[in-house]
């Protein structure tokens, strides 16, 4: 069992990677070699410092990070998410990710909006211990689908005016999955804090099997012990009564012009990545030119990673 605390996601990520390379043990579920630690508690004390970006060894696609968060928050399992991460198609059954979190959170059994229920419960009883969002569904998740949720559920506690979030996962790939999971989860936490009039508290990530796949061990071993700290993201706020509409508008193609603040920036990033996906790279970069922020700059670096600029001819040797 390990317990790690950091005030930013970069430090938490690199510390967890180092723990796995130092203390992990080999295990091969479904024949896939991994290094594993059973039992991990990762605590992020400043959830707005949510973005993992440790170049050159671990770069994230921030467009996918935003798209996945919007996809889950909106309750969707639509296939538009594949525009931002084609690798997800390998886990789909008949074109649908059967383990998608969004429908489970927003319309469990087509009847319960768990996010809304938690919002109302915290407003009615701030000291409640029942603010739970359940994601794992044994009725669905024992049918042999390719996609089975790694996340079991979320819990929220409003204490002394601060909203704390606890996530429990049966399984967590630290290299590929964790950076995106902590981005989405802390975004949910921040929005919910705003909906109940609370300050943002701590984020707690509880993992049964924390692991690193064999092909990522070498890169994990090369991570610096003191990476550049994750920056503080701008405040994310959204009135509940327009939340679903804003989320839909964020992924509209082309983006609508009635978005403001960070949601306008998110929409521009997603539009840019859609343009990149069609091969219109100049337009993709142009869409980012008038948009500022750390995520936008990270997306520009992601484009550089995907398509490095050609070396200039005739440049003098260094």
Name the residues annotated as catalytic. 150
Helix (H) or strand (E) holding 302: helix 294-306
Q: Which long-range contacts (CB under 8 A, 24 or more apart) does 16-24 make?
A: 16/40, 16/42, 16/174, 16/178, 16/210, 17/174, 17/175, 17/212, 17/220, 17/223, 18/220, 18/223, 18/225, 20/174, 20/210, 20/211, 20/212, 20/220, 21/212, 21/217, 21/220, 21/221, 24/211, 24/212
CA distance 157 to 173: 26
CA distance 209 to 219: 20
């Amino acid at each position: 069992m390990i317990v790690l605390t950091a005030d930013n996601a970069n430090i938490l990520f690199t510390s967890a990677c180092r723990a796995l390379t130092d203390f992990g043990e080999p295990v091969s579920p479904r024949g896939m070699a991994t290094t594993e630690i059973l039992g991990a508690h990762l605590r992020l004390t400043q959830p707005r410092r949510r973005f993992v970006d440790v170049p050159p060894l671990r770069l994230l696609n921030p467009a996918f990070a935003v798209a996945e968060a919007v996809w889950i928050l909106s309750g969707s399992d639509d296939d538009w998410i594949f525009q931002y991460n084609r690798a997800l198609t390998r886990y789909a059954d008949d074109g649908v990710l059967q383990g998608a979190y969004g429908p489970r959170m927003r319309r469990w059994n087509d009847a319960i909006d768990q996010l809304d229920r938690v919002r109302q419960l915290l407003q009615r009883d701030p000291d409640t211990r029942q603010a739970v969002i359940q994601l794992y569904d044994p009725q669905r998740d024992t049918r042999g689908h390719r996609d089975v949720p790694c996340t079991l559920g979320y819990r929220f506690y409003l204490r002394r005016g601060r909203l704390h979030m606890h996530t429990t996962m049966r399984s967590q790939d630290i290299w590929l999955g964790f950076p995106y999971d902590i981005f989405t989860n802390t975004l949910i936490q921040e929005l919910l804090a705003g909906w109940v009039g609370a300050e943002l508290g701590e984020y707690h990530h509880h993992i049964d099997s924390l692991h690193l796949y064999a092909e990522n061990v070498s890169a994990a071993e090369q991570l610096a012990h003191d990476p550049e700290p994750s920056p503080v993201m701008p405040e994310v706020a959204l009135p509940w009564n327009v939340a679903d509409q804003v989320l839909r508008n964020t992924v509209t193609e082309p983006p609508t012009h009635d978005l403001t603040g960070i949601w306008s920036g998110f929409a521009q990033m997603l539009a840019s990545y859609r343009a990149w996906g069609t091969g219109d790279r100049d337009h993709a970069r142009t869409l980012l030119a008038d948009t500022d922020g750390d995520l936008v700059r990270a997306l520009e670096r992601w484009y550089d990673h995907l398509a490095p600029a050609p070396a200039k001819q005739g440049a003098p040797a260094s």
